[in-house]
């Protein structure tokens, strides 16, 4: 019996389980980004929404489509600033 192969397979399975635990349901990243942006606005009302959206896109690894959704979601505030 090849124990090295079994250990490698066990190690891969543990890593796969950890990776699966970090996968979020579709839309969860956007919800977290909206919450984060809202908290940022509460801390500093003068903070640029465009800058917060850009930072949230990087922090939550959002797709361009998700980032565009945030711009649409905050459209009225983007125009006001």
Digit-coded pLDDT (tens) for 6-62: 444 444 444 544 444 454 556 899 999 999 999 999 999 888 999 999 999 999 999
Overall domain count for the chain = 1
Q: Is residue 55 one of the residues assigned to a domain? A: yes
Distance CA 41, CA 29 (A): 18
Is there a domain that residue 68 lies in? Answer: yes
pTM over 0.75: no
Domain-located, residue 15 = no
**In whole angstroms, what is the distance from residue 41 CA to residue 35 CA?**
10
Is 66 part of a structural domain of the chain?
A: yes
Higher pLDDT among residues 81 and 64, named by residue: 64
The count of other CB atoms within 10 Å of the CB of residue 55 is 16
In a domain, 17, yes or no: no
């Amino acid at each position: 019996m090849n124990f090295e192969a079994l250990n490698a397979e066990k190690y891969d399975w543990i890593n796969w389980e950890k990776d699966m635990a970090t996968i979020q349901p579709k839309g969860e990243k956007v919800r977290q980004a909206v919450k984060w942006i809202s908290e940022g606005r509460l801390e500093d009302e003068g903070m640029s929404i465009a800058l917060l959206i850009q930072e949230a896109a990087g922090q939550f690894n959002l797709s361009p489509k998700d980032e565009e959704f945030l711009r649409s979601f905050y459209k009225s505030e983007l125009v006001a600033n």
